[in-house]
Amino acid sequence: MKADIDIFVVPKKDADEYERKSVNKLALMVRQFFDDEIMEDTLVAIAEKPLQGEFAGNCHNIVLAFMTDLIIARRAQGWFWVRGENPQRTQQGITWEHSWLEYNGFAVDASELLKERPDKPAISIGEAELYYKAKGIKKIIKRRNAAQTRRWIVKRAKDEEK
């Protein structure tokens, strides 16, 4: 059963044929993850509404769920959970932080909300450098691969037990 989720590519204007093929291949791979029904936690996280006072999109939970689903399915090789900030955006004096995924030089954002269909989940995929510019990301706070993400999850679980 195919997940009802939009996956769209944001192409670089001067992308060569290899870049266009690479980003489209990644989009097909992400679609296949959902079609293979390995992204259950991701779909739950996407459907969650942010808590009062949180920025819309719930990006940190979505990315953690996405990486967790990939780790469990043993398909996380080459994926990174990236967290950055845009100092131009603040809410109640707090700098906006954002999480997304990266794979092979492309940014994958599963917290996108489309204006024409705000209730339907959407994932954007595009060149990481352009993504940083579009989101106003000025600083990368943390970049975690699958092993680092697993350690982060285990550490948080141990902290919760205390």
In a domain, 44, yes or no: yes
In a domain, 119, yes or no: yes
Answer whether 10's CB lies under 8 Å from 123's CB: no
In a domain, 1, yes or no: no
Answer whether 102's CB lies under 8 Å from 108's CB: yes
Question: What region does 7 belong to: left with phi over 0, alpha with psi -120 to 50, or beta?
Answer: beta
Range of the domain at 155: 6-161
How is residue 73 written in tokens? 């399915």
Query: Mean pLDDT in runs of 10 for the chain (162 residues)?
Result: 80 84 95 95 86 71 95 97 88 82 96 74 92 93 96 87 76
Answer whether 19's CB lies under 8 Å from 9's CB: no
Number of structural domains the chain divides into? 1
How is residue 142 written in tokens? 């943390």
Chain-centre distance for alpha carbon 76? 13
Which pLDDT score, from 0 to 100, does residue 77 have? 96
Answer whether 117's CB lies under 8 Å from 105's CB: no
Q: What is the pTM for the complete model shown?
A: 0.87
Answer whether 100's CB lies under 8 Å from 131's CB: yes
How is residue 123 written in tokens? 């994932």
Which pLDDT score, from 0 to 100, does residue 2 have? 62
From the CB of residue 146, how many other CB atoms can be counted at a distance below 10 Å?
19
Answer whether 153's CB lies under 8 Å from 37's CB: no
